[in-house]
């Protein structure tokens, strides 16, 4: 691709927000998060914070796209990132660092921010990793069992699972873990002490050379019960009943432990009938005068009935699904959550980046507070205050139903200036994964609360027009549009919003 020389102000040129402003650039990675924040420092120069850079590992063309995005980040920042924050270990938040490795390894990174759950010296973090590891092993066993039984569902599960581990060993990086190792190596400040990891409630962090901005760490909570709280019906806009996570977990683990997959402890299974009425496959293959061969496809040969009539692995399918989902959610719930407070505004505006935090993580913010000094006066700020003053909400987990809380979340965001940024590719999610991202109820409530000012990565306009939704109010909408810019190139890599 030919390189064009860019003048200041043109897309691709250095990103430097006007005085007393911050610009938030959301990249359209496909299905994933990548946010570049530019703050203006006292010396007139920008300070850059990058929050995540990833694309789902199954996203077609994600590698090429992330390469371009990494190049854009390098150009836009003049090869300098003051802070790189990684919220959690999922491909859709990490893979950009791998696909864009050539650019990233030339970018000077001053500080890497990781949640305390990534600290190898933290006992609680290690306990979490252990729970996680047990679940992973149970799931692996369950998937192996499904494979062995010729269950097609195994493939779908493997896909969901790959998301957590980072399946590719591409670019010499061993999945998500390898990417984090590389980031640690690229960063100038080494993460050697417990205080190098971000912990909720720690003193608000000032950005280097920037006055009037304080960064608060809200999550992940230092409490396993909160992290394990993945769903709470009361707090969700929508919920479907499902086999409980623990049942799923136990059933799979039981089978994993006695090496009889499919098999194992009956009481944890989801069979529709009592076991007295079941015929084990081995017995069915032997007897009953060919009845089962004829109708139930026992050998998968011609002249044998279809396999789909059999249900002996159905329980495993459902349980493994739930387990895969719970593993996924557990990682989401370890998301680093950051709130940037612009202290020169009154009331002080807040930019909230929640990663993919789920219910327990959100709930825990209600218990966090800070005592800060502004001048001689002491001031106590709570997580709830930050929610109330939020003017920019990075929508959690691509708009899924379990990552934007109701009462202790979106309903608290009362600022008339509220704008939401939603990184998603809903067409891809539905077509490829059958996910409803964003969830319809969350989407409509966001549109109401933000009065139409919901900026989606998959809806970057092709031309100059940004369509006005019916929720928008005329006067506000014009002000909003003035603060909005987007990449007009055919790639449409980014859209950005500036807050004064
Ligand atoms: Zn995500």
Q: How far is the CA of 321 from the centre of ligand 1 (A)?
A: 18
Q: How far is the CA of 487 from the centre of ligand 1 (A)?
A: 23
Q: What is the pLDDT of residues 57-73, one digit of tens each?
A: 889 999 999 999 999 99
Cβ 339 vs Cβ 365: under 8 Å: no
Q: How far is the CA of 70 from the centre of ligand 1 (A)?
A: 18
Q: How far is the CA of 90 from the centre of ligand 1 (A)?
A: 7
Q: Which residues of 73-103 are buried (b: 16+ CB within 10 A; e: fewer)?
A: bbbbbbeebbbbbbbbbbbbbbbbbbbbbeb
Decide: pTM greater than 0.85: no
Q: How far is the CA of 52 from the centre of ligand 1 (A)?
A: 10
Q: What is the pLDDT of residues 393-427, one digit of tens each?
A: 999 999 998 889 988 899 999 999 999 999 999 99
Q: How far is the CA of 356 from the centre of ligand 1 (A)?
A: 6
Q: How far is the CA of 5 from the centre of ligand 1 (A)?
A: 34
Q: What is the pLDDT of residues 187-205, one digit of tens each?
A: 999 999 999 999 999 999 9
Cβ 319 vs Cβ 270: under 8 Å: yes
Q: How far is the CA of 357 from the centre of ligand 1 (A)?
A: 9
Exposure of 298 in the CB half-sphere (CA atoms within 13 A): 16
Q: How far is the CA of 446 from the centre of ligand 1 (A)?
A: 18
Q: What is the pLDDT of residues 415-424, one digit of tens each?
A: 999 999 999 9
pLDDT at position 117, please? 92
| Beta strands 454-456 and 484-486, pairing class | unpaired
Q: How far is the CA of 444 from the centre of ligand 1 (A)?
A: 20
- For the ranges 95-109, 147-161, 245-259, the lowest mean pLDDT is seen at 245-259
Q: How far is the CA of 417 from the centre of ligand 1 (A)?
A: 26
Q: How far is the CA of 394 from the centre of ligand 1 (A)?
A: 12
CA torsion, ordered 302, 304, 310, 316, to nearest 10 deg: -40
pLDDT at position 369, please? 93
Q: How far is the CA of 159 from the centre of ligand 1 (A)?
A: 15
Q: How far is the CA of 326 from the centre of ligand 1 (A)?
A: 14
Measured CA to CA, the distance from residue 402 to residue 400 in angstroms comes to 6
Cβ 18 vs Cβ 41: under 8 Å: no
For residue 252, what pLDDT band results from cuts at 50, 70 and 90? low
Cα radius of gyration (the chain): 25
Shortest CA distance to 251 belongs to which of 130, 157, 135, 133? 135
297 compared with 460, residue with greater pLDDT: 460
């Amino acid at each position: 691709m030919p390189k064009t020389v860019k003048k200041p102000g043109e897309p691709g040129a250095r990103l430097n927000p006007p005085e007393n402003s911050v610009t938030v650039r959301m990249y359209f990675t496909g299905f994933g998060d990548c946010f570049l924040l530019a703050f203006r420092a006292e010396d007139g120069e920008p300070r850059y914070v990058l929050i995540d850079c990833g694309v789902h590992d199954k996203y077609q063309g994600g590698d090429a796209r992330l390469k371009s995005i990494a190049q854009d980040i390098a150009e836009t920042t003049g090869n300098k990132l003051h802070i790189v924050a990684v919220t959690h270990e999922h491909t859709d938040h990490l893979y950009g660092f791998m696909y864009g490795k050539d650019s990233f390894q030339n970018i000077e990174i001053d500080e890497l921010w990781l949640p305390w759950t990534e600290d190898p010296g933290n006992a609680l973090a290690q306990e979490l990793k252990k729970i996680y590891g047990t679940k992973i092993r149970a799931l692996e066993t369950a998937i192996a069992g499904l494979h062995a039984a010729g269950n097609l569902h195994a493939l779908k599960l493997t896909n969901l699972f790959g998301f957590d581990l980072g399946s590719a060993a591409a670019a010499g990086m061993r999945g998500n873990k390898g990417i984090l190792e590389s980031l640690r190596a690229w960063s100038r400040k080494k993460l050697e002490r417990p205080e190098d990891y971000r912990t909720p409630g720690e003193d608000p962090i000032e950005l280097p050379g920037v006055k009037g901005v304080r960064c608060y760490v809200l999550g992940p909570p230092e409490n396993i019960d909160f992290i394990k709280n993945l769903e709470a019906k009361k707090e969700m806009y929508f919920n479907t009943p499902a086999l409980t996570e623990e049942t799923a977990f136990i059933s799979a683990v039981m089978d994993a432990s006695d090496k009889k997959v499919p098999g194992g402890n009956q009481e944890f299974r989801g069979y529709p009938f009592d076991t007295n009425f079941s015929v084990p496959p081995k017995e069915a293959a032997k007897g009953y005068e060919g009845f089962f061969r004829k109708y139930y496809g026992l050998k998968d040969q011609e002249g044998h009935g279809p396999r789909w009539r059999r249900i002996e692995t159905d329980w495993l399918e459902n349980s493994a699904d739930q387990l895969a989902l719970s593993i996924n959610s557990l990682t989401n719930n370890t998301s680093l959550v950051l709130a940037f407070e612009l202290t020169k505004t009154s009331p002080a505006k807040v930019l909230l980046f929640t990663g993919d935090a789920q219910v327990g993580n959100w709930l825990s913010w209600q218990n966090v507070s800070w005592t800060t000094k502004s001048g001689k006066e002491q001031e106590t700020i709570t997580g709830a205050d930050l929610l109330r003053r939020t003017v920019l909400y990075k929508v959690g987990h691509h708009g899924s139903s379990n990552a934007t809380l109701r009462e202790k979340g979106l309903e608290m965001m009362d600022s008339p200036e509220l704008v939401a940024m939603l990184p998603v590719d809903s067409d891809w999610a539905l077509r490829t994964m059958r996910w409803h991202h964003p969830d319809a109820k969350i989407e409509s409530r966001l549109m109401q609360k933000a009065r139409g000012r919901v900026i989606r990565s998959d809806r970057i306009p092709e031309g100059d027009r940004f369509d006005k939704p019916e929720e928008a109010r005329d006067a506000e909408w014009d002000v909003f549009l003035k603060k909005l810019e987007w990449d007009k190139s055919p790639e449409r890599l980014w859209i950005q919003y500036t807050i004064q």
